[in-house]
A = this chain, B = another copy of it.
């Protein structure tokens, strides 16, 4: 009988997953935690064969909890179960050391496959997520060289930040030029630099990038 710990801030979700796991004979839920901090405490008295981990949680999130837990117990098998399906969260959790990644929108069958894989020490990644990643890869083509993916690593100049902020408030190139008493060509040059640095292909995606990465307030 495999021992399982569920880490998720939604009590009802924990209840449901617990029922599903136990009624299907997947294992026994020996503990639950509503955030990463409580989970780390729980590990002092419980040794699970599998951890089902959410990402977004108060006090301590999933990335930090996964990282810290694996520092102490490197053999821990962690399956991420979340509703966040963006590439960054996926990469962060994999870097933190999670073995598998499944979305809450996934079906029961996929969840069960993921559990089996992770308990056996194998990797499992949600098909929906893989599709999303592949689609994004085509859209961005060769502009995502894996190394430069950290948003905090990107350096914007003061002017670029200023221009970006204006794009994010909905202004066009000519409007920004007028506002800053600069030539249209200058604003276009700044935009080109912004597109290059963020690996985005047009202004709309640049603005979406800025919003998603909280580079601006909207």
Interface residues of A (CB under 8 A from B): 9-13, 15-20, 23, 34, 81, 83, 102, 104-108, 111, 139, 167-170, 172, 202-205, 207-208, 211-212, 218
User: Once the chains bind, are B204 and A10 in contact (CB under 8 Å)?
Assistant: no
Complex: chain B residue closest to A22, CB-CB: B19
- A contacts with B: majority SS: helix
User: Once the chains bind, are A111 and B207 in contact (CB under 8 Å)?
Assistant: no
Complex: chain B residue closest to A23, CB-CB: B19
A-B contact pairs, 27 of them (CB 8 A): A10-B105, A11-B104, A11-B105, A11-B107, A11-B108, A12-B17, A12-B102, A12-B107, A15-B16, A16-B17, A16-B18, A16-B20, A19-B20, A23-B23, A34-B105, A139-B170, A167-B204, A168-B208, A169-B208, A170-B205, A172-B202, A172-B204, A203-B204, A204-B204, A204-B207, A211-B211, A212-B218
